[in-house]
Amino acid sequence: MRESLAIAIAIVAALLLNWAIYLQKKAVLDLPEVKAKISWTLVKAFITNKPWMLAQIVNVSGFALYSVALALAPVSIVEPIIASGVVLLAYLAIKNLDEKPRRIDYFAMSASVLGVIFLGVSLAEGIPKDVLRHPLEIWFVAAGVLLLAVVIPIFMRGGSNNTQAAGLGVSVGLFFGMAAVFQRLLMLNIGHNWVLVVVFIAACIATYVPAFIILQAALQKGMAMVVAPIYNGLMEFVPIVLGMAVLNEGFPQSNVLKVLRILAFALILMGTVILSQRAEGDELPEPAITVEDHAAET
């Protein structure tokens, strides 16, 4: 019952979070371009924009349900479900954002849905209780992951808009992936170790905030069907690996369920990768206004 409830909540969270990305994508193209330097003029332009704020209400609602799902189930189970919500985003991007799909994109969306179904079936034996077996190693791994999140966009910033957006999407995925692990650890320590609760709250803030800011820049640079699948895939991959490596989130005992679990991960990852392989020529226009333009208007 607990596992089924966690999956149901995660599915609703996935739909809300990806709907929020769609709403943000529509809003950010009419907002000042997000750059490394964040000014009050830029912040004000965003927080006074009603469509963007509506997107944040949907986003917060999805995030709240996502947090509940993480409290009920391991991060390596919740994250693939959250990532599969990219199918809704792809549909909305095709229908309303004029992001034209290829035939293989439909295959990718179907693979993601099938992966979620397989993942649910693979939980027939129940789920293990998370245990932080390697508390020191997780900080070394986090440092390495976050270093990549900073370096990769720098190396990819000289290309086309979609190339830059892909680099930013990688950064967002790595930040969000580590944030998901920290949030799961936060949930596990509430009521048990308040020192670690404070530590993991700080770690969540330090990873979620830059991920959120970089996501706005990525959505301005490239197509939603480029950015979202990339960061969804990495946001999923990081917790899966760390969950099994340091949180005791092992595979099922049954060989059949084990194969289903592996197939589920492979299908969801394959779907997100395929959806991210967009043509270099499919570029978006630059944001409608710059920070300076907006400041002049106000």
Across the chain, which has 298 residues, the per-10-residue mean pLDDT values are 84 92 91 83 92 95 90 76 81 80 78 78 67 71 91 83 83 91 83 87 94 91 78 76 69 86 83 61 46 48
State the Cα–Cα distance between residues 24 and 216, nearest whole angstrom. 8
- Report which residue type is found at 250: G
Which pair of structure tokens corresponds to residue 38? 């964040």
Interacting residues of 189 by C-beta distance below 8 A, sequence separation 6+: 196, 197, 200
Domain map (residue ranges) of the chain? 2-297
Identity of the amino acid at 57 = I
Rounded Cα distance, 218 and 110, in Å: 25
Q: Is the dihedral of CA 1, 10, 102, 55 positive or negative?
A: positive
Closest CA to 232 of 77, 28, 16, 85: 85
Determine the pLDDT at residue 285. Answer: 46
